[in-house]
Amino acid sequence: MSDNRTPLLDKIASTEDLRRLDKSDLPSLAEEVRHEMINAVSVTGGHLGAGLGVVELTVALHYVFDTPRDRLIWDVGHQAYPHKILTGRRDRIRTLRQKGGLSGFTKREESEYDPFGAGHSSTSISAALGMAVARDYTEKAHNVIAVIGDGAMSAGMAYEAMNNAGAMDSRLIVVLNDNDMSIAPPVGALSAYLSRLLSGKTYRGLRESGKQIARKMPRAIFEHARRAEEMARGFFTGGTLFEQLGFYYVGPIDGHNLSHLLPVLENVKASELGPILVHVVTRKGKGYGPAEAAPDKLHGVNAFDIVSGTQFKPKATAPAYTKVFGETLVREARDDNRIVAVTAAMPAGTGLDIFARSFPERTFDVGIAEQHAVTFSAGLAAEGLKPFCAIYSSFLQRAYDQIMHDVVLQKLPVRFAIDRAGLVGADGPTHAGAYDLAYLGCLPKIVLMAPADEAELTHMIATAVAFDEGPIAFRYPRGEGVGVALPERGAPLDIGRGRIVREGGRVALLSLGTRLAECLKAADDLTSRGLSTTVADARFAKPIDTALIDRLANEHELLLTVEEGAQGGFGSKVLGHLAETGALDRGLRVRAMTLPDRFLDHDKPEAQYETAGLNARAIVAKVLEILPRMSEGRSRGGLGVVRQIVLT
Ligand SMILES: Cc1ncc(C[n+]2csc(CCOP(=O)(O)OP(=O)(O)O)c2C)c(N)n1
Ligand SMILES: CC(=O)[C@@H](O)[C@H](O)COP(=O)(O)O
Ligand SMILES: [Mg+2]
């Protein structure tokens, strides 16, 4: 608060206003931002701990740098809520992740202060380097700053970017926000290295870090000496990894102490050095007890009670698919010691935390490194183990070449457990599991399954355990199952065989995955309109069950496929098959219902499916849209009664 008790935040419409404040006001401003953020997220839910940890850093960066002219890029973007509050979006902060509201990540369309959109991790240094090189090329002079977390720093892409940046002299500032946490506790040698880096050093304040920078100026002199100096520092003084990669390392700095942060950032801004890495140490969840105490559990939250930190979770009516996966895999692994599990920094998100509790020595968290996770799994499989590589559908996109080149081409029996398949709600388009059916379905010989409910998931896990001939994948959505009884043990399925769930006469709905429940609702509705409807569960997107498809095609007037995936997936395969067999020439009506060919914004999942036209209502509408036309055609041939039935 300022002296007259007007909140400082009320005076800040833009970062220009922030920069007009006296430095002495900044700690109070930071506290206000923190309270504002806690308040907002307590209502909206969202990513809590990461943003709280960078409140002071955010204030300092906008105070020192001339944003948006200077480009500030937040890695992942899940920590950008304080940034949004300070960059003209405070009035909409309580719309975070709600329909029509602010995105939970940075987004170019949303603000000029978001020069690069994110959601997936470890892209910031590459993007920032590209922007820095473009700036130099166009002879501009602004700064480019990437802020990347210690977790995100575990991904290969960050090193690809540093490798490139370290060999160039482009002025680029990377702030490493080291809170010693990923979503789960961080893993790997780099994390251990950062801890060692900290343990030997006390925080550097103004004088020390000022010296760190001053040592490296002026640019002209430094340019000549640069390589020699780097080598000397690297070899003789045991310089940091970052220095050896060609960066100037500044830090470690207490990221909650504005009187340390500001002068260091000012020095960094004033320097003309090539890539600089500022190592800032923060605490995830800072300033909110429950988030500090359990940074993993309060990484992402539902709406919550601020006093107790208790989250408001709707009562579950069925177990989550993720939990069913974790528990089923434990049961399978008790009988098969070749089963091992791989996660890329998402043990709780994928349910492998459950597996890890029973089999810690058979669980491998490789960090945010999906590409490595896949090829590492390929190696495990090559030696006869049964790796279950559990990765969210959208993050698996990262590892496409590894899937093709390291797994599928070599026919290695890696089992892909693809969580968050389909629309995911508040995380929006970056996290939607829309494409796996298309991007995996075109790979030769891969087996691709999608359970209709949680019991089917247990069967598919058993199928994957039993299947040793090559790669096999099963994809399932975020959230709860449908509440069916779970079998004691899953039973392996016949590869490539679907099932009829309900027999009808005129319309056939062929569902892949958990839209089956919507298909059954649609079938009830259609039947009540006189359109007897068969519902089948394809189970396999690859190989498709051609016998089942041919039967549906031969015995019905209209065949609709329904899947929670983009165009080019299961439906395309069915259409291709029917075209090939001549069923289309014989007058069969076929439609593939998929996600639309556009990105869908964050919203509640049910609302997203309504927008996507992939629920019971849309299925019924689609059938009614096609059959009147069909009945008109048929009526010329004497089936006029159809029209009458449909229109009632
Ligand atoms: C490619 C990819 N894999 C996994 C994730 C899931 N994820 C989001 S944030 C996060 C942890 C990031 O840790 P860090 O960079 O240290 O940021 P912090 O949350 O600690 O601030 C993970 C694993 C992701 N967003 N992108
Ligand atoms: C930022 C990020 O990528 C994760 O935190 C993600 O939001 C988790 O999603 P789930 O809640 O579906 O695990
Ligand atoms: Mg971290």
pLDDT of amino acid 224: 39
What's the CATH number for 499-647? 3.40.50.920
pLDDT of amino acid 537: 98
Q: Which two tokens stand for residue 567?
A: 């165009």
Domain with CATH 3.40.50.920 in the chain: 499-647
Ligand 2 centre to CA of 287 (Å) is 22
Give the predicted TM-score (pTM) of the model: 0.93
In contact, 515 and 562? CB cutoff 8 Å: yes
Residue 592 is assigned to a ligand binding site: no
Separation between Cα atoms, residue 418 and residue 386, nearest integer Å:
16
Q: Is the CB of 184 under 6 A from ligand 1?
A: no
- Could you tell me the pLDDT band of residue 195, with boundaries at 50, 70 and 90? confident
Ligand 3 centre to CA of 163 (Å) is 21
pLDDT of amino acid 188: 93
Express each pLDDT in 249-277 by its tens digit. Answer: 998 999 999 999 999 999 999 998 889 99
Residue 279 is assigned to a ligand binding site: no
- Could you tell me the pLDDT band of residue 492, with boundaries at 50, 70 and 90? very high
Express each pLDDT in 346-405 by its tens digit. Answer: 999 999 999 999 999 999 999 999 999 999 999 999 999 999 999 999 999 999 999 999
Q: Per-residue pLDDT averaged across 494-505, rounded?
A: 97
Ligand with minimal distance to 296 CA: 1
Substitution candidate for ligand 1 out of 121, 123, 157 with most atoms within 8 A of CB? 121
Q: Return the ligand 2 atom nearest residue 430 CA.
A: 3
Domain 8-301 has CATH 3.40.50.970: yes
Q: Strands across the sheet with 71-74, in order?
A: 71-74, 144-149, 173-178, 276-281, 248-254
Q: Is the peptide bond before 68 cis (omega within 30 degrees of 0)?
A: yes
Residue 510 C-beta-side C-alpha neighbours within 13 Å: 31
Query: What percent of the chain is predicted at pLDDT more than 90?
Result: 86
pLDDT of amino acid 234: 36
pLDDT of amino acid 205: 57
Q: Is the pLDDT of residue 232 over 70?
A: no
Q: Which CATH number fits domain 321-475: 3.40.190.10, 3.50.50.60, 3.30.460.80, 3.40.50.970?
A: 3.40.50.970
**What is the value of ipTM here, to two decimals?**
0.99
Ligand with minimal distance to 54 CA: 1
Count the helix, strand and coil residues of the chain and give each as a percent rounded to the nearest 5.
Answer: 45, 15, 40
- Could you tell me the pLDDT band of residue 322, with boundaries at 50, 70 and 90? very high
pLDDT of amino acid 208: 61
Separation between Cα atoms, residue 428 and residue 430, nearest integer Å:
6
pLDDT of amino acid 223: 42
Torsion of CA 485, 436, 573, 507, to 10 degrees: 40
88-92, 134-138, 190-194, 455-459: least confident range: 190-194
- Could you tell me the pLDDT band of residue 237, with boundaries at 50, 70 and 90? very low
Ligand 2 centre to CA of 325 (Å) is 18
Domain with CATH 3.40.50.970 in the chain: 8-301, 321-475
Query: What percent of the chain is predicted at pLDDT more than 70?
Result: 90
State the chain's mean pLDDT as an integer. Answer: 91
Q: Is the pLDDT of residue 213 over 70?
A: no
Express each pLDDT in 594-646 by its tens digit. Answer: 999 999 999 999 999 999 999 999 999 999 999 875 444 343 332 322 222 22
**Cα–Cα nearest to 265, from 133, 67, 117, 127:** 67
Q: Is the CB of 345 under 6 A from ligand 1?
A: yes
pLDDT of amino acid 646: 28
pLDDT of amino acid 204: 62
Separation between Cα atoms, residue 60 and residue 67, nearest integer Å:
11
Q: Is-catalytic flag, 284?
A: yes
- Could you tell me the pLDDT band of residue 198, with boundaries at 50, 70 and 90? confident
pLDDT of amino acid 46: 98
More confident: 220 or 163 = 163
In contact, 541 and 594? CB cutoff 8 Å: no
Helix pair angle (570-581, 546-555), 10° resolution: 70
3-state secondary structure 221-253: HHHHHHHHHHHHHHHHCCCCHHHHCCCEEEEEE
What lies within 8 Å, CB to CB, of 173 at 6+ separation is: 143, 144, 145, 146, 268, 269, 275, 276, 278
Q: Where are the alpha helices (DSSP H) in 467-615?
A: 516-528, 546-555, 570-581, 605-612
In contact, 391 and 344? CB cutoff 8 Å: yes
Q: Is the pLDDT of residue 311 over 50?
A: yes
Q: Per-residue pLDDT averaged across 579-583, rounded?
A: 94
Strand partners, 278: 175, 250
3-state secondary structure 346-414: CHHHHCHHHHHHHCHHHEEECCCCHHHHHHHHHHHHHCCCEEEEEEEHHHHHHHHHHHHHHHHCCCCCC
* Burial (Cβ within 10 Å: 0-12, 13-18, ≥19) of residue 317: exposed
Express each pLDDT in 4-39 by its tens digit. Answer: 578 999 999 999 999 999 999 999 999 999 999 999
pLDDT of amino acid 239: 77
Q: Is-catalytic flag, 398?
A: yes
* Burial (Cβ within 10 Å: 0-12, 13-18, ≥19) of residue 7: middle
Q: Per-residue pLDDT averaged across 337-351, rounded?
A: 98
Q: Which two tokens stand for residue 212?
A: 């760190």
- Could you tell me the pLDDT band of residue 169, with boundaries at 50, 70 and 90? confident
In contact, 148 and 176? CB cutoff 8 Å: yes
What lies within 8 Å, CB to CB, of 270 at 6+ separation is: none
pLDDT of amino acid 368: 98
Q: Per-residue pLDDT averaged across 504-526, rounded?
A: 97
**Cα–Cα nearest to 556, from 626, 618, 473:** 626
β strands within 256-380, DSSP E: 276-281, 300-301, 339-343, 363-365
Q: Is the pLDDT of residue 142 over 60?
A: yes
Residue 476 is assigned to a ligand binding site: no
Strand partners, 281: 178, 254
Substitution candidate for ligand 1 out of 54, 83, 297, 368 with most atoms within 8 A of CB? 368
